[in-house]
Amino acid sequence: MSFLKIQDIHHTYFSNQTAATALADISLDIEKGEFVSFLGPSGCGKTTLLSIIAGLFPPTSGKILLENKPLKANSDLSIGYMLQQDYLFPWKTIEENILLGLKLIKKDEGLERIKTLKLLSDVGLGDTGKLYPRELSGGMRQRAALARTLAVDPKILLLDEPFSALDYQTKLKLEDLVFETLKSFGKTAVLVTHDIGEAIAMSDRIFLFSANPGSVYKTFKVPDELRELTPFHARNHPQYPMLFQTIWKELESLEY
Amino acid sequence: MWHLFIQKLGDGTLLSHSGVTLFETVLGFIIGTLLGTILASLLWWSPRLSKTLDPYLVILNAMPKVALGPIIIVAFGPGFPSIISMGAIISIIITTIVVYTAFREVDPNYLKVLQTFGATKTQAFREAILPSSFPTIISTLKVNVGLSWVGVIVGEFLVSAKGLGYLIIYGFQVFNFTLVMLALMIIAVFATIMYQLVELLERKLIKD
């Protein structure tokens, strides 16, 4: 039985005059510890699907099962969600920010607190706990956001283009950090991106989405040689450009 | 004017009049801001309530509040309660509207972060909505300092028993403009001090 099961998801956005189908007939399975990417042109509903998995709103029809149980929003903290920007609260210190999730379930004291502060040094921000987000660079803030997401020990991580607002060098470094951190904790992750290279470098499987209505067009398995490498080294592997070309052609064909 | 100041200070009337007005203004200011913020929170809490009350808010905001003076005096009697109500009512509606707008303009992504952490509505309000609206609330406080003085002075004009507003009206009627100017100066000093206190609060509350 798969870890996360997405069954026949349909989603339609309604307004007073129109109905726009964002997702049609999406079914996919994700295994425990797997890193998958949703790749596709803008407007293909990949972020909508991620929001549905996160439980931010219910789909029009279909269901999502996590470990064979229906995913209920807000029941327990099984989902970690990382956004395009860090969205650290500017009036809280870094320490308060990353303890936020635990504070909401009143577990921000004792052992949990120590564990979380350890997490902060794991992402290389050990001595910034007392600083405010504005005193940190963009890359450091996104790392703090990663620590905040991991602090509640979610079963699955949803990454909504978390690297898209960063400069290239920071992005490459952060890709490696996220990849290694997730692997070492054995976390399952779903990455939404429009960057083919990023999808190949980081994931085990890639779901290519087509638009109008959003649906899974094709699934690519990333070869084992690439999966075992960190994203930075994967980009230099001879297999990388081959897969890149394949996916590129499929994406091109989608646009016409 | 200085002579009059010393004289009035000596016989204790100035102190009692200023004390009365200051007390009424501070109370009116606090009640107005607090009720306005609470009302804004209720509107944020219940979209249904906010839809229902929206037209009333618009009309009440457009209405000159001092015109309600006589009605308030009939309702609360000619004394403290009426004057304090005047000081409060003049700032309640505008506070509600401005603070409610600030609540609604909070970046929804902050709420998304909290929602994925399973936050309740109360928690979302406390962790994101309220703190990110502090700058707006502070600037409303600054406006309300001025407004509650208007309300209280007008209230005292109408009730005409005690206070600096009474001194102004009295001085005007007996053509003692030194007294009028003295009262105005004292109001200016107190209003400035209140404004400074709000700024002090601002520095304490907003760290960035």
Which residues from chain B sit within 8 angstroms of residue A90, using beta carbons?
Answer: 208
pLDDT for the residue A72: 63
Chain B interface, mutation test: which of A47, A91, A152, most B Cβ atoms within 10 Å?
A91
pLDDT for the residue A256: 61
**ipTM confidence:** 0.79
Instruction: Please state, in angstroms and as integers, the Cα–Cα distance from residue A133 to each residue in A95, A97, A168, A172, B44, following that order.
Output: 10, 9, 21, 21, 27
Asked if the structure places residue A228 within a domain, the reply is yes
pLDDT for the residue B37: 92
Asked if the structure places residue A24 within a domain, the reply is no
Helix B130-159 with B13-45: angle, nearest 10 deg: 140
Which residues from chain B sit within 8 angstroms of residue A80, using beta carbons?
Answer: 116
B122: closest chain A residue by CA: A104
> Average pLDDT of A60-69?
78
Asked if the structure places residue A20 within a domain, the reply is no
pLDDT for the residue A145: 86
Beta-carbon separation of B116 and A75 below 8 A: no
CATH number of B15-205: 1.10.3720.10
Asked if the structure places residue A62 within a domain, the reply is no
Mean pLDDT value across chain B: 86
High-pLDDT (> 90) share of chain B, %: 16
The alpha-carbon gap from A106 to the nearest alpha carbon of chain B, in Å, equals: 11
> According to the 3-state scheme, what is the secondary structure of chain B?
CHHHHHHHHHCCHHHHHHHHHHHHHHHHHHHHHHHHHHHHHHHHHCHHHHHHHHHHHHHHHHCCHHHHHHHHHHHHCCCHHHHHHHHHHHHHHHHHHHHHHHHHCCCHHHHHHHHHCCCCHHHHHHHHHHHHHHHHHHHHHHHHHHHHHHHHHHHHHHHCCCCHHHHHHHHHHCCCHHHHHHHHHHHHHHHHHHHHHHHHHHHHHCCC
pLDDT for the residue A73: 47
pLDDT at A75 over 80: no
Which residues from chain A sit within 8 angstroms of residue B207, using beta carbons?
Answer: 91, 132
pLDDT for the residue A203: 86
pLDDT digits (tens, 9 = 90+) for A114-137: 878 888 887 777 787 788 888 888
Question: In which domain, by residue range, is A226 found?
Answer: 32-57+77-255
Asked if the structure places residue A236 within a domain, the reply is yes
pLDDT at A74 over 50: no
High-pLDDT (> 70) share of chain A, %: 96
Asked if the structure places residue A16 within a domain, the reply is no
CA angle (B79, B81, B84) in 5-degree steps: 105
CATH of the domain at A170: 3.40.50.300
High-pLDDT (> 90) share of chain A, %: 0
pLDDT digits (tens, 9 = 90+) for B85-121: 888 888 898 999 999 999 998 888 888 888 888 778 8
What is the number of structural domains in chain A? Answer: 1
Beta-carbon separation of B208 and A134 below 8 A: yes
pLDDT for the residue B208: 54
Q: CB–CB of A232/A175 below 8 Å?
A: yes
Task: For chain A, list residues whose CB is within 8 angstroms of any CB belonging to chain B.
Answer: 54-56, 73-77, 79-81, 83, 85, 87, 89-91, 100-101, 104-105, 132, 134, 152
Least confident of A98-112, B61-75, B86-100, B191-205: A98-112
Beta-carbon separation of A104 and B117 below 8 A: yes
* Closest by CA position to B177, among listed B3, B1, B11, B2: B1
* Closest by CA position to A217, among listed A206, A227, A208: A208
Instruction: Please state, in angstroms and as integers, the Cα–Cα distance from residue B197 to each residue in B28, B150, B191, B194, following that order.
Output: 16, 18, 10, 5
pLDDT for the residue A255: 72
Asked if the structure places residue A132 within a domain, the reply is yes
Asked if the structure places residue A190 within a domain, the reply is yes
> Average pLDDT of B28-54?
91
pLDDT at A80 over 90: no
pLDDT digits (tens, 9 = 90+) for A7-16: 888 888 888 8
